[in-house]
Amino acid sequence: MRNYLMIVPEATAPAGLVGETLIADGAGYDTLMPVERYASHAPFDYPGIPRAPGRYAGLVVLGGPMSANDTDKHPFLADTMALIRAFAAEDRPVLGICLGAQVIARAFGGEVYRMDALESGFRTMAATSEGRRDPVFSALGAEVISFQNHFEAVRGIPEAVPLATGGACPIQAFRVGRATYATQFHPEVTLDIVRDWIRTFGTAFTDPEPRLLTELDRQFQQNFARHRAQCQALVRSWMALSKG
């Protein structure tokens, strides 16, 4: 059975639909929570961020409230960047989501910058011409519908291939090399995950985007089926990049 490593910077931002798809397709995953200093496979002896891929077939880096620029406050971010480069050097697949995408951008020399406003809620994005031809991203089709929740975005990543654009930032998804993929949007979320974000972070999200309170259920009713199907297509195509 293939086993993947999942880095979860925020406990209320778990693997969600990504983890569900991995399990449904016969894979497994171990979770590291570097802020909580917890590991699912080593609950009594937190091992920290590994230096090398080891036995893992691939790496997933999820979201969190910190900035990828905050390496002084959160040293695990620099460790994660080094691990991303180690997976890429061994040609093993990496998937970064929101903060994870921004960590990938920093790992490969890109910039993470603050946007003018929070982008939150379901958005429709367009696949770029490269995205429509990409061996992974083409499985999502010409339009991508997924949930957004971020104050920061990425740009200036050397050798990155932009895969999707739209909404509040020009680069909504990108690839570096053969098998390192990043999405600014959140293919993993469920309604309960977003409700947990609102309970945990409160007005930091709902003041700049009050529709998170007034329209959240309706947005999920209208968009969740396609959102989930596109997450499954993304993860399965990404898993297919694993060698061996």
- Asked if 227 is an active-site residue, the reply is no
- 137 secondary structure, DSSP code: G
The answer to whether 74 is a known catalytic residue is: no
244 found inside a domain:
no
Measured distance CA(214)–CA(160) in Å, rounded? 37
In a domain, residue 32? The reply is: yes
Q: Can you read off the two tokens belonging to residue 127? A: 């696949």
pTM over 0.75: yes
Residue 15 pLDDT: 97
Q: Which of 206, 165, 184, 200 is nearest to 63 (CA)?
A: 184
Q: What confidence tens digit (pLDDT) does each residue in 107-165 have?
A: 999 999 999 999 999 999 999 999 999 999 999 999 999 999 999 999 999 999 999 99
Q: What is the mean pLDDT of residues 65-94?
A: 97
Residue-wise pLDDT for 174-188, tens only, equals 999 999 999 999 999
Which CATH number belongs to the domain containing residue 27 in this structure?
Answer: 3.40.50.880
- pLDDT tens digits for range 28-43: 999 999 999 999 999 8
Give the separation between CA 103 and CA 74, rounded to whole angstroms.
Answer: 12
Contact 130, 148 (CB under 8 A): no
Residue 108 lies in a domain: yes
The angle that helices 216-239 and 191-201 make with each other, rounded to 10 degrees, is: 120
Catalytic residue among 10, 98, 119, 209: 98
pLDDT at 58: 98
Residue 198, domain member (yes or no): yes
**Who contacts 74 (Cβ-Cβ below 8 Å, separation ≥6)?**
9, 34, 35, 66
- What pLDDT is stored for residue 123 in this prediction? 95
Does residue 243 carry a pLDDT above 80? no
**pLDDT for 93:** 98
Position 167 scores a pLDDT of: 85
Q: What is the mean predicted confidence (pLDDT) over 163-172?
A: 94
Owning domain of residue 220: 3-239
Q: Which residues of 76-93 are buried (b: 16+ CB within 10 A; e: fewer)?
A: bbbbbbebbbbbbeeebb
Closest CA to 62 of 96, 93, 28: 96
Q: In 98-213, at which residue ranges do the beta strands (DSSP E only) sit?
A: 111-127, 143-155, 160-166, 169-176, 180-183
Closest of 223, 150, 236 to residue 186, by C-alpha: 150
Question: What mean pLDDT do residues 46-70 have?
Answer: 97
C-alpha distance from residue 198 to each of 82, 95, 152, 209, 222 (Å): 32, 25, 18, 11, 20
Q: Which of these, 78, 63, 82, 30, lies nearest to 193 by C-alpha position?
A: 63
| Catalytic pick among 74, 150, 186, 227 | 186
Q: Count CB-CB contacts under 10 A for residue 156.
A: 12
| Within-domain flag for 65 | yes
Known catalytic residue at 188: yes
Instruction: Find the catalytic residue in 10, 119, 152, 188.
Output: 188
As for how many domains the chain has, the answer is 1
pLDDT of 244? 62
Does 145 fall in a domain? yes
Query: Under a CB-based contact definition with an 8 Å cutoff, are residues 54 and 83 in contact?
Result: no
Most distant CA pair in the chain: distance in Å? 48
Predicted confidence at residue 205, as pLDDT, reads 84
Classify residue 138: in a domain, yes or no.
yes
* pLDDT tens digits, 174-233: 999 999 999 999 999 999 999 999 999 988 888 988 988 999 999 999 999 999 999 999
Residue 68: half-sphere exposure toward Cβ, Cα within 13 Å? 30
Structure tokens at 14: 């778990």
